[in-house]
Amino acid sequence: MQMLTQEKLSLEAGAQHLTHLLRSQATGVGLPPSLRDHWLKWVDRADLSTLFTAQHLKEDWKYTPMEFLRHPWELGTLTASSPSFPPEGELPLIQPVESFEDLPALHSLPTPSSPWEALLGASTTYQHYQIREAGQLLLTSSNETGVLPHFVSISIAPHSQAEIWLAPHTGGFLLLRLHIHVGEGASARLYYTTDLPTRNGYLYGILSAEVEKEGQLESYDLTISAPWKRTEFKVRLTGPGASVHLHGASRIAPGEVVDQAIRIEHAAPHTESNQLFKSLVYAEGRSAFQGRIYVHREGQKTNAYQSHKALLWEPSAVAYSRPQLEIFADDVRCTHGVTTGFLQGEMLLYLRSRGIPEETARHMLAGAFLAEVVEKIPHERLRAGLYARMGFSS
């Protein structure tokens, strides 16, 4: 790669360089004129150097390697790649819309909580989708080199049904900003699959959603291989009966990094959230998970559940797990659980004592660990494909 022959920057200089580069592309042309000026003010103020100074950002990135900042990035270009898992559903395939003035997704964009989010919100590379009744869409945004910010909005009309397939590839640094608006009584399912076995790429997704009354969002963040992947998932439940179910199954190959930062806001009564994440971490791999549940004063009768389990394959594998609950309502049920550990010798002995060779037994147990999440995927071909790509039999 061309980049490798160039001088590395210091982290601070890299942050400044990237700030200028991302500001230069943030024209706001993908936003309705009524939002543009407002957003460009956020862009002017956004400064990636604050990653090293602002307390909440330092905390947010505490366990995430930021070596990518040392590259003297140039802007990359958007290409389409062939997805790992093509949609096989029954729903009609949706194309981006040209006119986006009134899209609910754009009018429900959350206030940026990081310079990244500010810089990406006004991205010049954008796509907007609108789903009425039923539809599926396929996002295979990719870039071969350079840094590429890409903004996508999806508006799901009330009582509609949507399936979103997100399968980006990158050989550089892909910054994906996705915002979904789930209208009243609508349901959305998001499959985010990553399979970048031989690439050097950095994949950073900031995914957010607003879910209205009786709306449902279900997501599957599935990593087969990714040299560096960070996913921020921010969901706001704004109407009674809204629910979100987030699932994650990460196979973190030797030396890889998978970082997940979740924030669920219960901003209305009778809402439900569920997080089930599992990380299988091989030698020198790193899993970083932070899961925040924030219950507003209005969020009475909230039902929230969160679980992150990490299985460390070798002593050199690392998992950081941080559950965070902030609750401002008094009648709620919030539970969370974190486990991190090595393979249980008892399970291994049990399989071996029935004649299964040690390597096969270990492999079976690795697959079984992720199966708790994978088995919840309602799409059979995806499930089977995932097991096959991860090298596990179903």
Question: For binding to another protein (CB under 8 A), which residues are involved?
Answer: 344-347, 349-358, 360-361, 364-365, 367-372, 375, 393
Please say which residue, 216 or 307, places its beta carbon nearer to another protein: 307
> Whole-angstrom Cα distance, residue 374 to residue 344?
21
> Whole-angstrom Cα distance, residue 109 to residue 21?
23
> Whole-angstrom Cα distance, residue 320 to residue 180?
28
Residue 185, helix vs strand vs coil: coil
Please say which residue, 94 or 361, places its beta carbon nearer to another protein: 361
Are 269 and 331 in contact, with CB atoms under 8 Å apart?
A: no
Which sign does the torsion angle of CA 341, 383, 192, 199 carry? positive
| Least distance (Å) between residue 353 CB and another protein | 5
Please say which residue, 99 or 354, places its beta carbon nearer to another protein: 354
Please say which residue, 146 or 367, places its beta carbon nearer to another protein: 367
Q: What is the DSSP string of 249-291?
A: EEEE-TT-EEEEEEEEEE-SSS-EEEEEEEEEE-TT-EEEEEE
List the beta strands (DSSP E) in 104-214: 126-131, 134-139, 141-143, 147-156, 161-166, 169-170, 173-182, 187-195, 202-211
| Least distance (Å) between residue 321 CB and another protein | 19
| Least distance (Å) between residue 386 CB and another protein | 13
Closest CA to 154 of 105, 108, 112: 105
| Least distance (Å) between residue 250 CB and another protein | 15
| Least distance (Å) between residue 346 CB and another protein | 5
Please say which residue, 189 or 309, places its beta carbon nearer to another protein: 309
Identify the helix (H) or strand (E) that includes residue 14. helix 11-25
| Least distance (Å) between residue 355 CB and another protein | 4
Please say which residue, 78 or 364, places its beta carbon nearer to another protein: 364
